Amino acid sequence: MAHGSEANSSGVTKQLCEWIQNVSMDDVPEDIRTRAKYLILDGLACAIIGSHLPWTQTAALAIFDMESPGNCSVWGYDKKIGPLPAALLNSTAIQGFELDDWHLAAPLHSNSLILPALFAAASNEHAKHSTKSNGKNFLLSVIAGYETGPRVGHALYGKEMLTRGWHSGAVFGPSASAAAVSKLLSLPAASIEDALGIACTQAGGLMAAQFGSDAKRMQHGFAARNGLLGALLARQGYTGIKNVYEEPYGGFLAMFGEGSGKEPRYLTEEVSKDLGQTWQLRMIGVKLHASMAGTHCTIDCVQALQNKYPEQLSNLGEIASIKLDMGEAEWKHGGFDIKRPVSTTGAQMSAMYTTATQLVDGQVLANQFRHDKLDRDIIWELIHKTQCVHDPEVGGKYGQRVTIILKDGTVLTQTLEGPRSVYPGLTNEEILDKWRRLTQGIIEEKRRDKIEKLVLGIEDLEDVSVLDELLAGPIANPIA
């Protein structure tokens, strides 16, 4: 059996690396360039709101205690540390409140993987080598990361990884981070292959983290840090696994494809399929609710019922039962039985909890997950009446159904093909509105407007470290 440098001299790993090296802004359609800027803005909104949440603060204090001062900003703090811990903490902030982007078919949270690694790399380059990273190259590097991570995910059947208990974004994510930083550093294809090989051997993430651990917030941060580490090592000539995706013995796809139950176990060709033709960025969704993406269709179903039947649902005490029909990945990810008391993490992952919250509060945003809101009797009364059911026929890739039966026998039901964030998806203007709503009162208006202007005009920015510095400094706690 051929392996290592003896195999696949022009296989998918090298094809991907050559594309990352050679892609230019001229190759990127205008709508992709524009959308990428709004996605960046959404990621920074999530970082700002997430940077001073209690679990992020706990992580920050622990990291500050163990790390020496460095050159890279920690967003929301007057602290600078080294590039690897900065990427870890800033990613943890973006993932801090389940408000960040996700890929619709190959689930990962791209901004939490890519932006912290790129800003850390850019700031470190500026401080150590007086090298400025301009906005145009930064944007192109972001796009390279957006395109890489999901392709790795497609090769492992995307959402199927969640059904097996892997935190899919933490598995696919090191590739996205390594690709983006490699592009920013202008690494040649051979070094990009080393970076990916180093990043992929660090991939992993257990979905049991979702039931209550703070570690759920940090798992994309591990991936962001590890991809950055791979690129920085590769730049110095440190070698990584060659042909890491297609290597049959101990390769990335071979190992993470174990137990998939699919035939074939993995889809090698997806790693480099249609590069520069089919843009994965178009499949990046933007959230409207502060909860796990698999709960969003359920929330939207409930919201539709509230709009249709305001009188019938005005007295929640009249609800006899609630049934949530869900696809397999959503059911395994968010359909678990929830116990009282619950942590904020567990509540945000739970279809039962978010359904009850939508019924009670009419929204599922940051305020619904304050510690004093997690133990409300009315919420738990509704949870105890709720059942989550796996229904493969519920409709569409993202479809769900909610059925509410009242004590008088009235049946209220709503089926949707997918959440509002998928069908039709948020426009750029709606993302801008989300940015402004989330940051209102969290940072001062002048600072917010400057960040917004720099991001939406990032191609003209001479040095992205200016933007990084704006993200540092005091930020209010949104759920204090």
Q: Cβ(124)–Cβ(83) under 8 Å?
A: yes
Do residue 32 and residue 155 come from a single domain? yes
Do residue 301 and residue 256 come from a single domain? no
Q: What is the mean pLDDT of residues 141-155?
A: 98
Counts for the chain of helices (H) and strands (E), in that order? 19, 8
Q: Which of 196, 209, 215, 69 is nearest to 144 (CA)?
A: 196
Count of C-beta atoms within a 10 Å radius of residue 1: 6
| More confident position, 441 or 19 | 19
Q: What is the mean pLDDT of residues 99-113?
A: 97
Four-point Cα dihedral 21, 22, 24, 28, nearest 10: -100
Do residue 83 and residue 16 come from a single domain? yes
CA distance 464 to 474: 20
Do residue 120 and residue 239 come from a single domain? yes
CA distance 75 to 340: 33
Q: Does 219 map to a domain?
A: yes
pLDDT of residue 412: 98
Q: How many domains does the chain have?
A: 2
Q: Does 223 map to a domain?
A: yes
pLDDT digits (tens, 9 = 90+) for 232-244: 999 999 999 999 9
Give bridge partners of residue 322 from the DSSP assignment.
Answer: 386, 404
pLDDT class for 1, splitting at 50, 70, 90? very low
* Model confidence at 2: pLDDT above 90: no
Q: What pTM, to 2 d.p., does this model score? A: 0.93
Domain CATH for 199: 1.10.4100.10
Do residue 224 and residue 357 come from a single domain? no
* Model confidence at 3: pLDDT above 70: no
CA distance 480 to 472: 19
Do residue 275 and residue 382 come from a single domain? no
pLDDT digits (tens, 9 = 90+) for 264-286: 999 999 999 999 999 999 999 99
* Model confidence at 57: pLDDT above 50: yes
pLDDT class for 250, splitting at 50, 70, 90? very high
Tell me which H or E stretch contains 80.
strand 80-81
For 104-188, where are the alpha helices, taking DSSP H only?
A: 110-129, 135-154, 160-163, 168-184
Name residue 195's amino acid: A
Do residue 381 and residue 448 come from a single domain? no
For 166, the domain range is 4-286+428-471
Do residue 57 and residue 114 come from a single domain? yes
Q: Which of 241, 248, 243, 229 is nearest to 182 (CA)?
A: 229
Alpha-carbon dihedral sign for residues 265, 269, 272, 275: negative
As a whole number of Å, the CA-based R_g of the chain is 22
Number of alpha carbons in the 13 Å side-chain half-sphere of residue 467: 30
Domain CATH for 299: 3.30.1330.120
- Residue 419 tokens read as 């959440």
CA distance 465 to 467: 5
Domain limit, last residue, from 416, 447, 462: 416
Q: Does 477 map to a domain?
A: no
Q: Cβ(219)–Cβ(59) under 8 Å?
A: no
CA distance 316 to 313: 6
Do residue 64 and residue 102 come from a single domain? yes
Q: Does 423 map to a domain?
A: no
* Model confidence at 444: pLDDT above 80: yes
Q: Does 359 map to a domain?
A: yes
Share of the chain above pLDDT 70, in %: 97
pLDDT class for 383, splitting at 50, 70, 90? very high
pLDDT class for 395, splitting at 50, 70, 90? low
Q: Does 480 map to a domain?
A: no
Q: What is the mean pLDDT of residues 451-473?
A: 96
- Contacts of residue 299, defined as CB under 8 A and 6 or more positions apart, other chains included, come to 289, 291, 354, 355, 358, 364, 419
CA distance 345 to 210: 6
Q: What is the mean pLDDT of residues 158-181?
A: 97
Q: Does 421 map to a domain?
A: no
Q: Cβ(436)–Cβ(430) under 8 Å?
A: no
Give bridge partners of residue 323 from the DSSP assignment.
Answer: 387, 403
pLDDT of residue 8: 57
pLDDT class for 397, splitting at 50, 70, 90? confident
Q: Does 333 map to a domain?
A: yes
Give the lowest-confidence range in 63-72, 84-93, 329-338: 329-338
pLDDT of residue 10: 87
Q: What is the mean pLDDT of residues 120-137?
A: 94
Do residue 208 and residue 80 come from a single domain? yes
CA distance 87 to 173: 13
Do residue 20 and residue 38 come from a single domain? yes
Do residue 402 and residue 456 come from a single domain? no
pLDDT of residue 370: 85
